[in-house]
Structure 1
Amino acid sequence: MDTIITDLEILPFVGSKYLEPFTMSFKQNGKRRTWDCVKVFNCVSIFMYHKQKDAFLFVKQFRPAVWYSQKKSGFFSDEPGYTYELCAGILDKNLSDEQTALEEVIEETGYKLPNLERISRNYGSLGFGGNTQTMFYGEIDESMKVSEGGGIDDESIELVFIKQKDMQNFIYDESKVKGFGLMFAYLWWREFKGAK
């Protein structure tokens, strides 16, 4: 997939349906403090293993905040702004965590899973957000493929398979931007699902 990013601008924040910044004032040990926070949706993520390919399925997409962070820090990866992630989605449709996860898998990857295994619920963005992410695991094969995936609306998601034998190198390859959730999911898989 050749995605070309052009005409990128940094604009002032004017409000969003996805996040709401606010400042909290409180006393801690008798001393008045303030803390800047962001209200964001809770979310789900899904770690997927393709049995026939002996590979893990991730989504690759352009993340403007990562591009901006790389620009400000001067550290660019091989693909500025692009990230390798677990399939994921926010809880904004009044569905259960599992229903949301199953829907996201179809939208982003094109696979229809019969069920998921819950891994864990954790908190993210601890310094300013505090939202939760519930992580699931699912095994896929080609009989479950129902569409091309790639996301909905204007999402531009690329599917990336990483062979099990290459995962250790992938995890530590700093030229491929990924979050801690992906790394944790792989360690969980090795502990509970991998060959003993």
Structure 2
Amino acid sequence: MEDVKDVYISPLPESIYVKPFRLNYTQNGKEKNWDLLEVHDSVAIIVFNITRKVMIFVKQFRPAIYYNSIHPDDRQSKVIDTKKYPASLGIALEMCAGIIDKNKSVEQIAKEEVLEECGYDVPLDKLQRIISYRSGVGVQGSLQTFFYCEVTDDMKTEQGGGVDDEIIEVIEKTIPEIEEMVTSPGPISSPPSCLFALMWFLHYKAPSFTK
């Protein structure tokens, strides 16, 4: 996962994942504009293993985090010095998640993501839909739907770790470790949606597992 080299920055060609554009509008009689990104909506799933009372996370290299760990002066280099800026700077700990890029229900996409990333085969009726919210409201405003599911060791398969060229490591944390994570002064390499989901879990679900 941390074997990253030959890092350099280039202009963005046409992409199937992000589309930059400018929105022009008039507000209170004044002409304005805002630069935006069109991206896919997504799902995110909290996966809690009730056999061993551990939360299932995914760890992966996130180029956006890595890029923002590089000093602006060094971003101008033809090739980024990976000794000065090792790949570990871009490692994130997140919930299981994925974009909605198939003509399927959000529940079906969530089920597939849990299987592909975490290796658990979760029945559709065991996926609890919690809430949908807007993420990246400054530049994208895409919709993410948050699910919760409980799994057992018996539901574990040989899958997991991502598909195609994804490199994902499955990480388990106990409830005390989750509490420590959300109260840490940081910085934490986890998105706000993950921390929100963990706080939700600690408030609504964790008490039943800690009695």
| TM-score, normalised relative to structure 2 | 0.86
In structure 2, what residue type is equivalent to 1:187? Answer: M
Given that 2:24 and 2:33 are in contact with CA atoms closer than 8 Å, whether structure 1 keeps it comes out as: yes
Counterpart Cα distance in 1 of 2:86 and 2:175: 23
Q: Alpha-carbon deviation of 1:172?
A: 3.6
1:1-196 alignment runs, 5 A limit: 3-72=2-71, 79-114=88-123, 115-173=126-184, 174=186, 176-195=188-207
Given that 1:78 and 1:176 are in contact with CA atoms closer than 8 Å, whether structure 2 keeps it comes out as: no
| Structure 2 gap segments, 5+ residues each | 75-84
What do you get for the CA RMSD once the two structures are aligned? 1.9
| 1:108-142 C-alpha deviation (Å, 9 max, x unpaired) | 01101112001110001101101000000011111
Q: Alpha-carbon deviation of 1:191?
A: 2.0
Counterpart Cα distance in 2 of 1:116 and 1:72: 42
| TM-score, normalised relative to structure 1 | 0.93
Q: Alpha-carbon deviation of 1:101?
A: 0.3
Structure 1 residue ranges, 4+ long, deviating more than 4 angstroms after superposition: none
Distance 1:176 1:27, change over 3 A: closer
Counterpart Cα distance in 1 of 2:35 and 2:96: 29
Given that 1:57 and 1:161 are in contact with CA atoms closer than 8 Å, whether structure 2 keeps it comes out as: yes
| Structure 1 gap segments, 5+ residues each | none
Instruction: Give the 3-state SS of the residue equivalent to 1:165 in structure 2.
Output: helix
Percentage of matched positions with identical amino acids = 36
Greater Cα radius of gyration, structure 1 or 2:
2
Distance 1:77 1:138, change over 3 A: farther
Given that 1:62 and 1:81 are in contact with CA atoms closer than 8 Å, whether structure 2 keeps it comes out as: yes
Q: Alpha-carbon deviation of 1:77?
A: 10
Distance 1:78 1:62, change over 3 A: closer
